[in-house]
Structure 1
Amino acid sequence: ERRIVQSVVLANATIFDMASKNEDCRGMGTTLVGAFFLESGAYFVHVGDSRAYRLRDGVLTQLTADHSLANEYVQMGILRPEEVEQFPYRNVITRACGLNDTVEPEVHFQTLQDNDIYLFCSDGLTDPVSDKEIARLLQSSDDLDEVCQALIDAANAGGGPDNITVVLAHTFQD
């Protein structure tokens, strides 16, 4: 876990340094989501509102909590989850790599099961495509390339308001 945090801290410092020294890069930053898979489980890391999901036995579970103003308001009881969609500042993130000289990535461990599907994605997917539709598409084919393309197509059909990043991983035993 320590090495994962160190990697994100180093990436943050590199981005922040480049943005500080290069006029064209001022204000540059990024969200981040990833995982380090082991035989027994995986360490998931994220900063910002890029997400990790797990599809297990047909049930889609969001594994990361957005580092966003809207999510913080939900956690504090200021907003109800159903109000987030209408909240004017729902896309304001509270953590990102490169915007400050320090960053606090969130890391947690999850056990793996045979036949889990893990989705790592940017908000370019999750803003225009519902979790229900994501779950349906994740189960639409055994070919992960096809599923990735279907998810991207769904985001574009929903207006594609942002860049769309989609990565899938499928766990299985030899």
Structure 2
Amino acid sequence: MNNFVGLSKIGLVRQRNEDRFFIDGNVCAVTDGMGGYSGGEIASTYAVDEIREYLASLEPVGQQDLCDAIIHANQRIVNRVASEERLAGMGTTAVVTAIKDNQLYWASVGDSRLYIYRDGLLRQITTDHSMVQELLTAGEITKDEMLSHPQRNLLTRAVGVDEVLEVDSGIESILPGDRILLCTDGLSGYVTDDVIASALQSSDDNMMVVESLMDTVYEVGAGDNVTIVVGTI
């Protein structure tokens, strides 16, 4: 594994960036906060800090470790909200990955996404915990219609909202040359998977891919904060 890079930028219509990410050896995470005042920023920062610290002492990091790290962060945020009324309603997405040999372990809550790109094909690994995903699953809207649906920002699950949290997780087999992409909905909510795939196809330089996708998001108005992490196996 090499060459993991990331970038986070404030959207054109936002006053603060509530996205966070970290790349720590073979572990990566992306979070996207929500909530009034500075709540979203606090929740997303808490989440990446707590997840990073929780996993730092573990070697190797496995699937259950990623779930446990998110659950740990969830409890810390719930406790913080309980002690500060002004933070009520804050929460965050979280998608976390770890690589060991030819396995990619992942865990996810919310609508930040994990993709794997291989041989020209982009595959979404995580499933959004969102209202529009439920509509898509029910066959009421298409994947393209998710991008413009008025309820596209409504989450059905988030870190820091409830004491009990269900975390999605899994294991994917990976091959040399695979590209891994994590992102917030500032990317996936404004550009199609085809656009993401084209950017990955266009260059082997991961930072060039990240910057190209950022440019595309800004060209369509950057309606949300944007965070993208890309790496090559």
TM, length-normalised to structure 1: 0.90
Letter paired with 1:165: T
Give the aligned length.
171
State how far apart, in whole Å, the 2-side matches of 1:99 and 1:166 are.
24
Paired position in structure 1 for 2:206? 144
Change (3 A) 1:29 1:82: same
Paired position in structure 1 for 2:163? 101
RMSD (Å) for aligned C-alpha atoms: 1.6
State how far apart, in whole Å, the 1-side matches of 2:162 and 2:231 are.
31
State how far apart, in whole Å, the 1-side matches of 2:73 and 2:87 are.
15
Change (3 A) 1:83 1:124: closer
Letter paired with 2:162: N
TM-superposed deviation, 1:33: 0.9
Paired position in structure 2 for 1:47? 109
Letter paired with 1:28: M
Structure number with greater CO (CA < 8 Å, separation at least 6) is 2
Give the gaps of 5 or more residues in structure 1: none
> Where in structure 2 are the equivalents of 1:12-161 lying within 5 Å?
12-81=74-143, 83-161=145-223
TM, length-normalised to structure 2: 0.69
Alpha-carbon deviations, 1:91-121, whole Å to 9, x = none?
2111111111221110011000110001000
State how far apart, in whole Å, the 2-side matches of 1:164 and 1:80 are.
23
- The alignment partner of 2:208 has SS state of helix
State how far apart, in whole Å, the 2-side matches of 1:89 and 1:53 are.
23
State how far apart, in whole Å, the 1-side matches of 2:150 and 2:219 are.
23
State how far apart, in whole Å, the 2-side matches of 1:126 and 1:76 are.
20
State how far apart, in whole Å, the 1-side matches of 2:145 and 2:211 are.
30
- The alignment partner of 1:139 has SS state of helix
- The alignment partner of 2:169 has SS state of strand
Letter paired with 1:170: T
State how far apart, in whole Å, the 1-side matches of 2:142 and 2:190 are.
20
- The alignment partner of 1:169 has SS state of strand
Letter paired with 1:151: L
Alpha-carbon deviations, 1:10-35, whole Å to 9, x = none?
01111121122124432221111121
State how far apart, in whole Å, the 2-side matches of 1:113 and 1:40 are.
6
State how far apart, in whole Å, the 1-side matches of 2:117 and 2:216 are.
18
- Of the structure 1 ranges 78-87 and 143-152, higher mean CA displacement relative to structure 2 is found in 78-87
TM-superposed deviation, 1:80: 4.5
State how far apart, in whole Å, the 1-side matches of 2:137 and 2:192 are.
21
State how far apart, in whole Å, the 2-side matches of 1:15 and 1:156 are.
31
Change (3 A) 1:79 1:131: closer
- Of the structure 1 ranges 44-53 and 12-21, higher mean CA displacement relative to structure 2 is found in 12-21
Residue 3 of structure 1, aligned match among 56, 65, 73: 65
- The alignment partner of 1:43 has SS state of strand
Change (3 A) 1:74 1:128: closer
